[in-house]
Amino acid sequence: MGDDPPPRSVQFSVSPLPKNPLGEGRYIRTAAALIIGDEILNGKTLDMNSNYFAKYCFEHGIDLKRVEVIADDEEQIIEASRRMVQNYDFVVTSGGIGPTHDDITYSSLALAFSQSLAHHPETLARMAQMIKHRTWMSTQTPQQRAAQERMALFPDGAEILFVAQDIWVPVVRLEGKLCIFPGIPTLFQKMLNALTPFLPLPPRADRPLRIQIFTERPESMIAPYLTTLQTRLRPHAIQVGSYPVLGQGVFVSLIGRDRAMTDPPVPENGTQGNGRRIWLAEVAREVEQEVDGHVVSDEEVAARKGQCKALVAPVEIAASIGLHIGKGSLKAKY
C-alpha cells in the first residue's frame, strides 16, 4: 500500500467564549491535576503533563494544590474526580480518551457525575474532515469505525469547547471545573494554552513573581537566616525556599505578589507596626547581602541544574559497577 497523500490544511471554527462557569466576578484560585494511565504507573511513559500544568498554574496565578497519578481504573477515576471537583476551582485530567479498551476516562467521568454517554455530532464531523484523506478510511471495518468514534463519545451534560482551529479534539468540561485532555504531551500543552481565554483567570496584579538568588555558601550556613526570614514574611504570603545544587551552591527562592507590604507585620496584639512599605525586590536585595549571593535568571537556573545532572552521572555509574566514591569527594544533594 502506498503512502497516504499529504493532508490538506484544515481550519475549524473556535467555540464562542462562554459565561464564567464559576459565577460572575469569581476567579480560579486553586487547581488539581489527575494523570490517568497504567503506562505512567509502570514506568513505560514519562509524565510530562503535570509539570507543564504546574508551570501554567504558576504563570497564571493559580495555586496548584494537588497532582495525582492513577490507573486506568473506573472506581479510582470516579473517586478522585468527584473529590477534586468538590475541593478545587480548576481540575484537569490527562489520558485515557483514545479508541482502545483501556481508554475509559470519558465513560468513568460520565458515571462520576451521573450522566449518560452520547456521540457528539460536531466532533464526529471534525474528526472525519481531519482524516478523510487517509487511504485506510475506505477499508475500515464496522468495529474499527466504532472504535474511532469512541473518541467522540462524551458525557451528555458536558460543555464542549473547541479551542484551536487546527485541532478537532475538543476540551470537554464537566461541572464548570473539570477539563478533560489527551495524554499526548504536545496536544496537552497546545490545548491547555488554547483554553486560556475560556478560563476565569485571576487578574494580572494577583499573579505571583518568583525571584531566585544563587549563593555558593552551603545550605547549613544560610539555614538560620532563611528560617528567620520566612517567619517574618509568612504573614505577607511570601514563600522562602532553598534548593541545593550538587557541588555548586544553593538557590534561594522568593515567591510572592510584587506589591507593597508593611514591615514589620502587624503584631498579634493588634498594635500597628512602623508602617514602612517594602517590595519583594527589596527582600531579594536583602537576601543577596545576607547570603553573599546574586539574583539569577531562569536561563542561569536551568544551566546550573544541567551541570548538576552531568555531575551526578559518575556517581550513578560508579554505583552500578560496585565502586564507592569516598566521603567528601562529592557533596550530597538532599
C-alpha–C-alpha distance, residues 202 and 190, integer Å? 21
Select the more confidently predicted residue: 277 or 31.
31
- Determine which helix (DSSP H) or strand (DSSP E) holds 50, and give its type and residue range: helix 49-59
Q: Are residues 112 and 254 in the same domain?
A: no
The residue assigned the cell 505577607 is: 236
Q: Are residues 143 and 243 in the same domain?
A: no
pLDDT tens, position by position, 198-236 = 999 999 888 888 999 999 999 999 999 999 999 999 888
Whether 5 maps to a domain, the answer reads no
- How many percent of the chain have pLDDT more than 70? 83
Q: Are residues 158 and 80 in the same domain?
A: yes
The residue assigned the cell 462524551 is: 154
Whether 10 maps to a domain, the answer reads no
Whether 19 maps to a domain, the answer reads no
Q: Are residues 182 and 295 in the same domain?
A: no
Q: Are residues 60 and 173 in the same domain?
A: yes
Amino acid at 132: K
Q: Are residues 172 and 307 in the same domain?
A: no
Instruction: Give yes or no for residue 138 having a pLDDT over 90.
Output: no
Whether 203 maps to a domain, the answer reads no
E-strand stretches of the chain: 30-36, 63-70, 90-94, 117-119, 153-155, 159-161, 171-174, 178-181, 209-215, 239-245, 249-256, 261-263, 276-278, 294-296
Q: Are residues 214 and 193 in the same domain?
A: no
The domain in which residue 270 lies consists of 208-318
Q: Are residues 138 and 176 in the same domain?
A: yes
8 Å CB contact between 294 and 213: yes
Three-state SS for 278?
strand
8 Å CB contact between 178 and 93: yes
Select the more confidently predicted residue: 189 or 246.
189
Q: Are residues 192 and 55 in the same domain?
A: yes
Whether 4 maps to a domain, the answer reads no
Q: Are residues 66 and 169 in the same domain?
A: yes
Three-state SS for 142?
helix
Which residue among 198, 233, 249 closes a domain?
Answer: 198
Instruction: Give yes or no for residue 258 having a pLDDT over 70.
Output: no
Whether 8 maps to a domain, the answer reads no
Which residue among 151, 169, 198 closes a domain?
Answer: 198
Which residue among 164, 198, 232 closes a domain?
Answer: 198
Q: Are residues 275 and 165 in the same domain?
A: no
Whether 159 maps to a domain, the answer reads yes
Instruction: Give yes or no for residue 260 having a pLDDT over 70.
Output: no
pLDDT attached to residue 210: 92
How confident is the prediction for the chain on average, in pLDDT?
A: 86
**148: domain CATH number?**
3.40.980.10
Domain count along the chain:
2
Whether 80 maps to a domain, the answer reads yes
Q: Structure pTM?
A: 0.80
pLDDT tens, position by position, 88-108 = 999 999 999 999 999 999 999
> Distance of alpha carbon 277 from its chain centroid, rounded?
34
Q: Are residues 161 and 249 in the same domain?
A: no
8 Å CB contact between 188 and 180: no
8 Å CB contact between 200 and 232: no
Conformational region of residue 222, where left means phi above 0, alpha means psi within -120 to 50, and beta covers everything else: alpha
